[in-house]
Amino acid sequence: MARTGPPHLDFRSDTRTVPDARMRRAMAEAKVGDDVYGDDPTVALVEERVAALLGAEAALFTPTGTLANLLAPLAAGPAGAPAPRVIAGEGSHMAFLEADGLRRFGGVELVTVGQRPDGLPEPDALAALLAVRADRPTVVCVENTAMMCSGNALDADATRAVAELAHRHGAHLHLDGARLANAAVALGVPPARLAGPADSVAFSVSKGLGAPAGALLCGSRAYVARARELRGELGGSLHQAGVLAAPALVALDRLPDLAADHDRAAALAALLAEVPGVQVMRPPRPTNMVMARLPAVPAGECAALLAGHGVLVLPLPNAHVRFVTHREHDMIGVRAAVRAVAAVSAAVSGARPARTTDEDPHRQRRRKHDDEATRART
Ligand SMILES: *Cc1c(COP(=O)(O)O)cnc(C)c1O
């Protein structure tokens, strides 16, 4: 499929990375079996390697991070238990993009909780939710990096604090680590350290690591065995999955390369901050994302104006547009993106005065969640 923009100007997501020659060669030469029969050696290898990387007993290859996050809470309860209650940050991928699937296909009760600026669930709000007696198992989710918080990397202590709170109430802690590799590289710690406090971790190889598809759900041996059964029931078990596990193995060799993505994001943030009229949101421990806004221009319109200059970004419900840097970018593309933002900013500031009636983005986001909650109840 043709791209809609040149790779060096497509900042929508690190999922935009395409398999390169080495990955394609690995796919072509992959030793395969039938993973449904448990004898695909390449899948077995990637599962072993990611389990070791995250310090887990076992790992399960899934076609997508979304499926790993759906299996994660379902495998947490004892067999025969009712579908769990899932508590996830209101700006998390699970609450924002996976809620309908979790409810419909997992039967879970999804409850959102406010997040601190670093992405961690608000401890008091989480404690209050955990104190409510539930007639079903509870799964608390933490996202690292925290996407809606500009890709902030959470350190192990932050996750451990939530894990301890969850465990005091008998709850399971799931870590949505789609970009845990970015967090580990940014913090300069092994991924296992960040995964340690969690009971399960979903780890993606298809984001900045550049594999075409795939995630691994990690946990104890018994937990992963249960997830494996559920994966089959949901239609997520692939036969010659080795052709997807092979590029995932190549991706795992590329963790250190993520540092270059982070450097380009830092350069982009610094250059954007100098553009008149632009507000940049950078988190305490940045990774490969930059969120920015022109206060007078709604995010969707901002993204459309930038697309007119050949720069692709993602508008978000927090009134910002998201730039994600990845391995196919270079500094030429970063500078071109900054020039496009400067052109758009100059054009809109000449064309209209800053709006004073703009709704506060937090209120706007809360209202959206209220609307969703209302819809879910009706
Ligand atoms: C991308 C992403 C997912 C889902 O992964 P897919 O492979 O696209 O299904 C889940 N959580 C987070 C935080 C993500 O960024």
Ligand 1 nearest atom to the CA of residue 69, by list position: 10
On whether both 246 and 364 belong to a single domain, the answer is: no
Lookup: tokens for 229? 């059964």
What digits encode the pLDDT tens for the residues 249-293? 999 999 999 999 999 999 999 999 999 999 999 999 999 999 999
Is the same domain home to 264 and 189? no
Give pLDDT, residue 369.
Answer: 47
Beta strands 200-204; 279-281: pairing state: unpaired
Assess if residue 312 is contained within a domain: yes
241 and 302 housed in the same domain: no
Assign residue 208 the CATH number of its domain: 3.40.640.10
Q: Are residues 149 and 39 in the same domain?
A: yes
Q: Are residues 227 and 274 in the same domain?
A: no
Other Cβ atoms within 10 Å of 3 Cβ, number: 11
Taking the C-alpha atoms of residue 213 and residue 206, their distance in angstroms, rounded to an integer, is 5
In a domain, 2, yes or no: no
172-177/289-293 β-pairing: unpaired
The two three-digit tokens of residue 224, written as one number:
């992963």
Looking at the structure, do residues 52 and 150 belong to the same domain, yes or no? yes
Residues 82 and 166 in one domain: yes
* Among protein residues, the one whose CA lies closest to atom 6 of ligand 1: 65
pLDDT greater than 60 at residue 372: no
Answer yes or no: is the C-beta of 224 below 6 A from any ligand 1 atom.
no
**Same domain assignment for residues 311 and 225:** no
Nearest CA owner, ligand 1 atom 14: 178
Rounded Cα distance between 22 and 13, Å, is: 22
Q: Answer whether residue 21 is part of any domain.
A: no
Is the beta carbon of 288 within 6 A of some atom in ligand 1?
Answer: no
What pLDDT sits at residue 351? 65
Say if residues 91 and 253 touch (Cβ distance below 8 Å): no
User: Is any atom of ligand 1 closer than 6 Å to the C-beta of 138?
Assistant: no
Count the domains in the chain.
2
SS3 312: strand
Q: Is the CB of 287 under 6 A from ligand 1?
A: no
Check residue 27 and give its pLDDT. Answer: 98
Quick check: CB of 289 below 6 Å from ligand 1?
Answer: no
Last residue of a domain, one of 228, 253, 278: 253
Which amino acid makes up residue 48? E
Domain assignment present for residue 358? The answer is yes
Ligand 1 atom 10: residue of nearest CA: 65
| 226 belongs to a structural domain | yes
Distance in Å, CA 66 to ligand 1 centroid: 6
Task: Please indicate, yes or no, if residue 72 is contained in any of the structural domains.
Answer: yes
CA of residue 63 to ligand 1 center, whole Å: 11
- pLDDT given at position 80: 82
Q: How confident is the model at residue 6 (pLDDT cuts 50, 70, 90)?
A: low
CA nearest ligand 1 atom 3, residue = 65
pLDDT band of residue 8 (cuts 50, 70, 90) is: confident
Nearest ligand 1 atom to the CA of 206 is: 7
Question: Measured in angstroms, how far is the CA atom of residue 126 from the centroid of ligand 1?
Answer: 23
Q: What is the pLDDT of residue 350?
A: 78
pLDDT band with cut points at 50, 70 and 90 for residue 79: confident
pLDDT in tens, 196-209: 999 999 999 999 99
- Ligand 1 pocket check for 93: Cβ under 6 Å: yes
Q: Name the domain boundary from 253, 271, 286.
A: 253
> Does the C-beta of 14 come closer than 6 Å to ligand 1?
no
User: Are 249 and 276 part of one and the same domain?
Assistant: no
Query: Each residue of 89-122: pLDDT tens digit?
Result: 999 999 989 999 999 999 999 999 999 999 999 9
Of the three residues 253, 269, 301, the one that is the final residue of a domain is 253
- 372 in the same domain as 271: yes
Measure 306 CA to ligand 1 centroid, in angstroms.
25
Quick one: 47 and 118 in the same domain? yes
pLDDT of residue 4: 55
Mean of the per-residue pLDDT values of the chain: 92
Q: Is the CB of 110 under 6 A from ligand 1?
A: no
Say which CATH number the domain at 350 has. 3.90.1150.10
Is 178 in contact with 65 (CB distance < 8 Å)?
A: yes
pTM to 2 decimal places: 0.91
Helix/strand/coil for 187: helix
351 Cα: distance to centroid of ligand 1 (angstroms)? 38
| 239 and 276 inside one domain | no
pLDDT at 370: 40
Cβ of 65 closer than 6 Å to ligand 1, yes or no, is: yes
- 3-class secondary structure, 17: coil
293 C-beta closer than 6 A to ligand 1: no
Torsion angle, CA of 347/352/356/357, rounded to 10 degrees? -100
pLDDT reported for residue 292: 97
**107: in domain:** yes
> Containing domain of residue 361, as a range?
7-13+256-377
Give the distance (Å) from ligand 1 centre to CA of residue 301: 25
- Is the four-CA dihedral 148, 356, 302, 328 of positive or negative sign? negative
For residue range 212-258, what is the model confidence (pLDDT) as tens digits?
999 999 999 999 999 999 999 999 999 999 999 999 999 999 999 99
User: Does ligand 1 lie within 6 Å of residue 178's CB atom?
Assistant: yes
Instruction: Kindly state whether residue 365 falls inside one of the protein's structural domains.
Output: yes
Interval between CA 67 and ligand 1 midpoint (Å): 9
pLDDT tens digits for range 305-328: 999 999 999 999 999 999 999 999
Q: Is the CB of 143 under 6 A from ligand 1?
A: yes
